[in-house]
Amino acid sequence: LDELPAGFRIFMTLDEGLMGGGLLPAAAAEVLNTPGMCVQLGLVTDMERERLATVPEYAEIAAAHEDEPVLLGRLMVSLDRVIDALHIPDEEAICRVAMLHAAVDWQRAGVPEPLTRQTIEKLYRNGYWQHLAHRSRGIAASRHSFRQAIEHLLAAGPAYRLRLLDEVYSDGTTHPRPHPLLPIVADSSQRPPGWAISSILWDYLSKALTDPQRLIVVLSACRRGEYRAARQMLNSLDPATIPAQAAFSIAVAAHSSGERTVARRWY
């Protein structure tokens, strides 16, 4: 940073939990905390949306583009479009929404590995589709339906089309990445279609991750208040390797919910 030209600025958006949750190396967190200003970002409120719609500059832009959506218009309505896309009017929508649930849960859990197509297919076929389709976990999910759904979500379209799933290039391959508004909608407990991180993902991670990776996910789970999931992830670890703060948080949560035997063990 010291080598940058005077007055040069870099802006980035970061999850607050990355900064204080132990998910970044200490040196990286120190560098990111050094610059002077942090601004809290939030959703556009209904009042702000109404005010923006009356701004003369926006009216001029909208008139110039006739019926075609423009940037400010997309920013104002995209949350509604995300919410609409998560509703399930038919069986084809089940496939797409199940895939989005899996991708969003992976991101919300703070898994320190990029999501791959192979992993998202495992999650989709081993529980996510069955849950939304109200089928038994033993019922096989169609591989053909999975392929159709992911190709539909990733397909190129008009510039104004809302891309709920994208692919980024990293480590020599591409990785699915959900639209940044999806986790916000998922975390909303005030209205549907918000949802809790699925036990399907926690079960998968408890078996698939290495011990250091599992500890990172545990810290993320504790930060989110997912203490039962944290307990599940820690069951196979050497107690001496478990951070004291994580153990204490789990104990307090168990105590508060009346699970005294569990709380005593973690205390």
pLDDT score at 67? 64
Whether 119 has a pLDDT exceeding 80, the answer reads yes
Whether 212 has a pLDDT exceeding 80, the answer reads yes
- The mean per-residue pLDDT over the stretch 17-43 comes to 70
Question: Is the Cβ–Cβ distance between 150 and 99 less than 8 Å?
Answer: yes
Of 157, 125, 117, the closest CA to residue 141 belongs to 125
Residue predicted with more confidence, 21 or 143: 143
CA distance 113 to 193: 26
Q: Using 50, 70 and 90 to split pLDDT, how confident is the model at 13?
A: confident
Q: Using 50, 70 and 90 to split pLDDT, how confident is the model at 6?
A: confident
Amino acid found at 103: A
- b/e per residue, 23-37, with b = 16+ CB within 10 A? bbeeeebeeeeeeee
Phi, psi (degrees; rounded to nearest 5) at 199: -65, -20
Q: How many helices (H) and strands (E) does the chain have?
A: 15, 2
Q: Using 50, 70 and 90 to split pLDDT, how confident is the model at 21?
A: low
Residues 6+ away with beta carbon under 8 Å from 167: 154, 174, 175, 176, 177
pLDDT score at 78? 64
| Predicted TM-score (pTM) above 0.85 | no
